[in-house]
């Protein structure tokens, strides 16, 4: 029988990062299993956003470490991650939202982050194509930006291979075998693998894989649509990724055009089709905030799945009740930005060490213990 010390389920940014960091920390007998292709799922369909503007200390710490990883990414892995620090702008349209932003800014500044609270006139100066007459204020951080999900994920996968990890594409996990309260093997579409540990990094499918091991993981898939326009004149070259917090809508520059979000579905499903018949209503929401988009022509669109938990924060750690079972999923829209550092921390944990950042607030059993930690800045996205 094929054997592996650790099996990683899922070939997105999180799974590839864990495989790489396990191998880099000395565990060579790692097998990553991806039912499609590396970066084919949610990671490859993301907008690539990276930000330090969060509402909780643990998420801020993850983002700061992620920035350090990106800074040395080309030197370590030989690939330019395409990180462009054009900044993020968050827009508040109510006094209550603005009060929340003030609290967030105070927390972020304690970490030395150069985030600013902006009046509407200053927001308009930084993002001149915005409509701001109904905006109460906002925030801006120049450290934020976006990178290439494909470049980063494939570089981590290639790095894992160079260090001895095995990456199997087109190989689906069909069963997680548990004996005596411990993981002992996985059954796959290409035969079984004996193993001592399994790490579930299956994003929207994490709950499905967890059920194979007899555990319930509170992760549900929610579709989010994205659209890109043809080249559009009148847009600044250094355009921040801008989030309308109230509407849960965002946009950024993509080449000479604009990338903007469609609605996030209200109900969970694995649907990843684009609702072209609803495009007119979707564009109307976009035009409200960026009137220039009334002149734009949509070039293409796609849809992916957010893997969302009840508090919009990931499940990171050992799964209680099943020895050797771990989960790193449910990132709720910030898997790409936190995947590289989450991989290192999970590798430290799995190999018996103490994670260099305390990830216990993200323990998989926190909901059962009444210890959720809501992250409203993720919920808005």
Residue 180 has pLDDT above 70, yes or no: yes
Burial 45-56 (b: 16+ CB within 10 A, else e): bbbbbbbbbbbb
Average pLDDT of every residue of the chain? 96
How many Å apart are CA 182 and CA 326, to the nearest integer? 11
Decide which of 375 and 99 is more confident.
99
Residue 379 has pLDDT above 60, yes or no: no
Residue 86 has pLDDT above 90, yes or no: yes
pLDDT at 381: 53
Indicate the helix (H) or strand (E) that contains 241: strand 241-244
Q: State the Cα torsion 30-207-341-48 to the nearest 10°.
A: 110
What SS3 string covers 57-121? HHHHHHHHHHHHHHHCHHHHHCCCCCCECCCEEEEECCHHHHHHHHHHHHHHHHCCCCCEEECHH
Closest alpha carbon to 198 in 1, 22, 380: 22
pTM of the predicted protein model: 0.96
Residue 315 has pLDDT above 60, yes or no: yes
Q: What is the pLDDT of residues 117-128, one digit of tens each?
A: 999 999 999 999
* Model confidence band, residue 268 (pLDDT cutoffs 50, 70, 90): very high
How many Å apart are CA 47 and CA 49, to the nearest integer? 6
Within a 10 A sphere around the Cβ of 80, how many other Cβ atoms? Answer: 13
Residue 377 has pLDDT above 90, yes or no: no
Measured N-to-C along each axis, helices 149-162 and 335-350 cross at an angle, to the nearest 10 degrees, of 20
Q: What is the pLDDT of residues 27-82, one digit of tens each?
A: 989 999 999 999 999 999 999 999 999 999 999 999 999 999 999 999 999 999 99
How many Å apart are CA 352 and CA 357, to the nearest integer? 14
Could you please state the CATH topology (level 3) that the domain comprising 85-145+223-304 is classified under.
Answer: D-Amino Acid Oxidase; Chain A, domain 2 (3.30.9)
What is the DSSP secondary structure assignment for residue 56, as one 8-state letter? S
Q: What is the pLDDT of residues 149-175, one digit of tens each?
A: 999 999 999 999 999 999 999 999 999
Output phi, psi for 155, to 5 deg: -65, -40
How many Å apart are CA 46 and CA 13, to the nearest integer? 11
Tokens read off for 295: 């002149």
Tokens read off for 177: 């075998």
The residue extents of the domains of the chain are 2-51+149-219+310-379, 85-145+223-304
Tokens read off for 317: 């750690």
Q: In this structure, are strands 193-200 and 2-9 parallel, antiparallel, or unpaired?
A: parallel
Tokens read off for 110: 């304690």
How many Å apart are CA 299 and CA 273, to the nearest integer? 16
Q: What is the pLDDT of residues 70-80, one digit of tens each?
A: 999 999 999 99
Q: Which of 140-144, 183-187, 283-287, 360-364 has the lowest mean pLDDT?
A: 283-287
Cα 85 to Cα 58, 67, 251, 252: the distances in Å are 22, 10, 15, 12
pLDDT at 333: 93
Counting every residue written for the chain, the total comes to 381
3-class secondary-structure state, position 245: coil
Cα 124 to Cα 118, 289, 291: the distances in Å are 10, 11, 13
Indicate the helix (H) or strand (E) that contains 178: strand 173-179
Mean pLDDT of 20-31: 97
**What percent of the chain shows pLDDT beyond 90?**
93
Mean pLDDT of 235-245: 92
Residue 376, C-beta contacts closer than 8 angstroms, at least 6 positions apart: 55, 100, 312
How many Å apart are CA 210 and CA 200, to the nearest integer? 7
What is the DSSP secondary structure assignment for residue 365, as one 8-state letter? T
* 55 in Cβ contact with 375 (< 8 Å): yes
3-class secondary-structure state, position 267: coil
Report the CATH number of the 2-51+149-219+310-379 domain. 3.50.50.60
Q: Where are the alpha helices (DSSP H) in 127-273?
A: 149-162, 206-212
Mean pLDDT of 267-273: 96
* Model confidence band, residue 94 (pLDDT cutoffs 50, 70, 90): very high
Mean pLDDT of 314-338: 97
* 90 in Cβ contact with 51 (< 8 Å): no
């Amino acid at each position: 029988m094929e054997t592996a010390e650790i099996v990683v389920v899922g070939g997105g940014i999180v799974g590839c990062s864990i495989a790489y960091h396990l191998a880099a920390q000395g565990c060579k007998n790692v097998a990553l299993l991806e039912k499609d292709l590396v970066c084919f799922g949610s990671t490859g369909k993301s907008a690539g956003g990276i930000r330090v503007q969060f509402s909780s200390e643990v998420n801020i710490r993850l983002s700061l470490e992620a920035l350090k990883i990106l800074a040395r990414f080309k030197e370590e892995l030989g690939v330019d991650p395409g990180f462009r620090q054009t900044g993020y702008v968050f827009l508040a349209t109510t006094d209550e939202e603005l009060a929340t932003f003030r609290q967030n800014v105070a927390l972020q500044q304690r970490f030395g982050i150069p985030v600013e609270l902006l009046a509407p006139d200053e927001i308009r100066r930084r993002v001149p194509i915005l409509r701001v007459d109904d905006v109460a204020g906002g925030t801006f951080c120049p450290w934020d930006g976006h990178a290439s999900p494909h470049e980063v994920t494939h570089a981590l996968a290639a790095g894992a291979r160079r260090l001895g990890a095995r990456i199997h594409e087109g190989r689906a996990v069909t069963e997680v075998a548990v004996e005596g309260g411990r993981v002992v093997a996985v059954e796959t579409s290409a035969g079984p693998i004996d193993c001592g540990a399994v790490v579930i990094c299956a994003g929207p499918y994490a709950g499905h894989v967890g059920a194979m091991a007899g555990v319930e993981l509170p992760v549900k898939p929610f579709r989010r649509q994205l659209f890109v326009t043809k080249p559009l004149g009148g847009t600044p070259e250094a355009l921040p990724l801008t989030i309308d917090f109230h509407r849960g809508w965002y946009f950024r520059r993509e080449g000479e055009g604009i990338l903007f979000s469609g609605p996030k579905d209200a109900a969970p499903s694995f649907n990843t089709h684009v609702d072209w018949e609803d495009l007119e209503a979707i564009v109307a929401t976009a035009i409200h905030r960026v009137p220039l988009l009334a002149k734009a022509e949509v070039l293409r669109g796609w849809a992916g799945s957010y893997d969302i938990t009840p508090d919009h924060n990931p499940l990171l750690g050992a799964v209680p009740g099943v020895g050797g079972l771990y989960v790193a999923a449910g990132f709720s829209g910030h898997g790409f930005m936190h995947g590289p550092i989450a991989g290192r921390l999970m590798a430290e944990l799995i190999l018996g060490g103490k994670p260099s950042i305390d990830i216990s607030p993200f323990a998989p059993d926190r909901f059962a213990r009444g210890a959720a930690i809501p992250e409203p800045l993720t919920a808005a996205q």
